[in-house]
A and B are shown apart, each in its own frame.
Chain A
Amino acid sequence: MAKAFTTMSGRTIERIYTEELLDGWDPRTDLGTAGEFPYTRGIHPTGYRGKIWTMRQFSGFGTPEETNERYRHLMAAGGTGLSVAFDLPTLMGRDPDHELALGEVGKCGVSIASLADMETLFQGISLKDITTSMTINSPAPMLLAMYLVVAEQQGADWKTISGTIQNDILKEFIAQKEYIYPPRPSMRLITDVFSFCAKHVPKWNTISVSGYHIREAGATAVQELAFTLRDGIEYVQYGVDAGLAVDDFVPRISFFFNAHSDFFEELAKYRAARKVWATTMRDRFGAKDERSLKLRFHTQTAGVSLTAQQPYNNVVRTALQALSAVLGGTQSLHTNSLDEALALPTAEAATLALRTQQVIASESGVTNTVDPLGGSYFLERLTLDMERETRAYFDTIDQMGGMVEAIENGFPQREIADSAYRFQQAVERREKIIVGVNDYVVDEKTSVPILYIDEAAAARQIERLKVLRRDRNNARVRQALDDLKRAAEGRENTMVPLVEATRAYATVGEMCDALREVWGEYEERPII
């Protein structure tokens, strides 16, 4: 049997691409020029000449003090934006002293239980001068409220500060599974944030619709693209249904994609994403403001591609993945560290990851021109194919009634689980090669220094919480939480009582529990 030439997503690739294979492709309508509809070539006419991408390294561990120190280190090393990684108790809306938080405090990210922790996290960092991305979903409104109150304490104006909350619950149901409430009240929280920010924090990116986790869970490149954009459509539809005008909130929607190892397929994915989004916003929702049409995105290199074996190989993988994101026109980028198949990164490994971006930006020359690979027969064919396949997924999901319904049916979950298993089988059969894992294997182990997070962080956070609960005005906290519950039962925007509860030093767990009482918790039917 002839050897099959396929991408890592299983797409068959031709021996050579020629004009004939681009039949029907029209450079005027399919490609256009940079900064113009349909934005296939990029959303800025000057590409990276005007502004280089933001080098935003996702980081957080242990206590707020420890993470604050790492942030100062990253900024001193030339990082240009912050990106907060929270620990699992925070992500799941549990306080450090909750029984389910046992062993998890400060492990996968920083532990933030109340406004007091948020004040410490940004000590000495001026929130009016930087932008911050916070990877937080179910408790996104609570953490946003904390950020806003800290900004206010520092004298920064809500009207001018900027940053991003991930706030993308659909991909949690689909892939990462950090959900608290059932889908419908979860969507309500998101539209509350949309309308609150449109009014009070107009430069805030209210959602980062994320394909990253969908891909990490095993999706193919096209599944990542299709499910992410269809999630985006769902948020727009819910916003419109909640009475918001498209051009009032869609410009604040941003995206987050994975940069996996198959170079050209990834590159095509970013280009197709811009084109499909622009077309969909115009044709499906009648968006007029060009900011609603322009898809802005952050990229992170593929964590799942990192290997514990021969960890230094990960530096090379990450560099190639980062290059595809840059050639694809990303607005910001996180490069993973070489030690992340083993633990959270050390400061040295995180610095090398940042240097990787700086080498691409300063030495490779790829930033001199916009979309340097545009017009390649191969790349344009791939872009068209991914666009077509994405639209086919849209049709399937539309027929189910939308993404919320598709999720309730287990559709994207099943598609992803199937792809994950197929890929693993291909690796086992050595149809797909992973250097150091199923080829070029060596016996001796390379050992790298790793960051080891001990239990001291948990003890400190629990102690601090005890003091906080003793010293704050508990009557004010109770009042604020009651107001929050009333808002959740009715139609008042939940952000208003959340900001008040935050000022009263209510904890993340207390605020999330108040909403649990009203809405209950979601439990998924596992699909394998």
Chain B
Amino acid sequence: MAKIRVVIAKPGLDGHDRGAKVIARALRDAGMEVIYTGLRQTPQQIVSAAVQEDADVIGLSILSGAHNHICPEVMRLLTEKGLDDVLVVVGGIIPDVDVPKLNDIGVRGVFRPGTSMQEIIDFINGNVRERTEVI
């Protein structure tokens, strides 16, 4: 079976990368192929990375409160590139009221403080697109 390919990205100006790095490692240990973009990536750069890496999943780590700006832009660019089937998840400090807004624009998983690594691994395994093996 092909490995699930995940791009973990830190958009915006925020540099708090503990969560992004812990998750990157946990997904890798769970058998996924993980690409970590590093800090301060624009939505454009994140989507380009997803294209280049043929990503199945994009995980955005946002703790600064800028999710209402960043997520719609990432979703718009994904649609523009025809990557609607890429699973997008977000982790960080996200107020309750923003969760349905993010779900509405197509962010499938929103993970907040206290979420276990296993929960995120299970969510990805359960929601990622079927990958057709090309031989």
A residues adjacent to B (C-beta < 8 A): 88-89, 91-92, 94, 100-104, 107-108, 172, 176-178, 216-218, 304, 306-309, 341-343, 417, 420-421, 424, 427-428, 434, 436-438, 447, 450, 452-453, 523-524, 526-528
Mostly, the A contact residues are: loop
Contact call A102/B66, Cβ cutoff below 8 A: yes
Q: Which residues of B contact A417 (CB under 8 A)?
A: 21, 25
Instruction: Kindly list chain B residues whose C-beta atoms are within 8 Å of the C-beta of A100.
Output: 12-13, 40, 42
Given A176-B15, A343-B95, A420-B18: A526 in contact with B113 (beta carbons within 8 A): no
> A206 CA to B89 CA in the complex, in Å?
42
Q: Which of B47-55, B101-109, B114-122, B127-135 contacts A (4 or more CB under 8 A)?
A: B114-122
Name A344's closest neighbour in chain B (CB-CB).
B65
CB-contact partner of A424 in B22, B97, B112, B113, under 8 A: B22
Interface residues of B in 23-74 (CB under 8 A from A): 24-26, 34, 36-40, 42, 64-70
Do B18 and A309 touch (CB < 8 A)?
no
Alpha-carbon separation in the docked complex, A100 to B70 (Å): 11
A473 CA to B26 CA in the complex, in Å? 55
**Please, which residues of chain A bring their CB within 8 A of the CB of B118?**
428
Cα-based distance from A89 to B14 in the complex (angstroms): 9
Report how far A89 CA is from B38 CA in the complex, Å: 18
Interface string of B65-101 (1 = CB under 8 A from A): 1111110000000000000000000000101110000
The interface residues of chain A lying within 8 Å CB-to-CB of B95 are 342-343, 450, 452
Contact check: which of B13, B112, B117 meets A308 at CB < 8 Å?
A: B112
Q: How large is the interface on B (under 10, 10 to 19, 20 to 34, 35 or more residues)?
A: 35 or more
- Within the complex, what minimum Cβ distance (angstroms) separates B26 from chain A? 7
A438 x B116 contact (CB < 8 A) = yes
14 A–B contacts from the bound complex (CB under 8 Å): A103-B70, A104-B12, A107-B64, A108-B14, A176-B16, A177-B39, A217-B16, A218-B22, A307-B114, A341-B112, A342-B95, A424-B26, A526-B21, A528-B24
Q: Give the chain A neighbours of B97 by CB distance below 8 A.
A: 452
Write the nearest CB–CB distance from B60 to chain A, whole angstroms.
13
Known: A424-B22, A526-B38. 10 other contacts (CB 8 A): A103-B65, A103-B67, A103-B69, A104-B14, A218-B22, A306-B113, A309-B114, A428-B116, A447-B96, A452-B97
Q: What is the minimal beta-carbon distance from B24 to any residue of chain A, in angstroms?
A: 5
Chain B residues within an 8 Å CB radius of A177: 15-17, 39
Main secondary structure of the interface of B (DSSP, over half): loop
Provide the residues of chain A in CB contact with B65, threshold 8 Å: 103-104, 107-108, 343, 453
Closest 10 CB pairs of A and B: A177-B15, A103-B69, A103-B66, A107-B65, A88-B13, A526-B38, A437-B114, A341-B113, A308-B113, A528-B21
Q: Which residue of A lies closest to B69 (CB)?
A: A103
Bound Cα distance A524, B21 (Å):
14
**Minimum Cβ distance to chain B for residue A76 (Å):** 27
Which one, B13, B22, B26, B116, contacts A89 given CB within 8 A? B13
Residue in A closest to B38 when the chains form the complex, CB atoms: A526
B residues near A107, Cβ cutoff 8 Å: 64-66
CB neighbours of B38 from chain A (8 A): 523-524, 526
Flag if B117 contacts A424 (CB, 8 Å). yes
Min C-beta distance of B7 to chain A, whole Å: 13
A103 neighbours in B (Cβ, 8 Å): 12, 65-70
Given contacts A177-B17, A420-B22, A528-B36, contact A434 B117 (CB under 8 A): no
Residues of B within 8 A of A343 (CB): 65, 93, 95
- CB atoms of B21 and A420 under 8 A apart: yes
Q: Is the CB of A218 within 8 A of B64?
A: no
The answer for the CA separation of A88 and B12 in the assembled complex, in Å, is: 9
Roughly how many angstroms separate A89 CA and B36 CA in the complex, as a whole number?
A: 23
Contacting residue for B18 out of A91, A101, A216, A452, CB 8 A:
A216
A76 to B21, CA, bound (A): 41
User: Could you say which of B68, B69, B70, B114 has the most chain A C-beta atoms within 10 Å of its C-beta?
Assistant: B114
- Shortest C-beta distance, B19 to chain A (Å), equals 9
- Name the contact of A102 in the complex, choosing from B24, B37, B69, B93 (C-beta under 8 A): B69
Residues of A near B40 (CB, < 8 A) are 100
Separation of A43 and B12 alpha carbons in the complex (Å): 42
In the assembled complex, the Cα of A92 lies from the Cα of B16 at a distance in Å of 13
Minimum CB–CB distance for B50 against chain A, Å? 17
The docked-state distance in angstroms from the alpha carbon of A92 to that of B15 is 10
Shortest beta-carbon distance from A118 to chain B in Å: 21
Closest B residue to A216 by CB, please name it. B18
CB neighbours (8 Å) of A304 from chain B are 18
Q: In the complex, what residues of B have CB within 8 A of residue A342's CB?
A: 93, 95-96
Residue in chain B with minimal CB distance to A436:
B114
A411 to chain B, nearest CB (A): 16
Bound complex: CA A14 to CA B113 (Å): 32
A50 to B37, CA, bound (A): 52
Q: A309-B114, A341-B93, A437-B114 are in contact. Are A92 and B18 (CB under 8 A)?
A: no
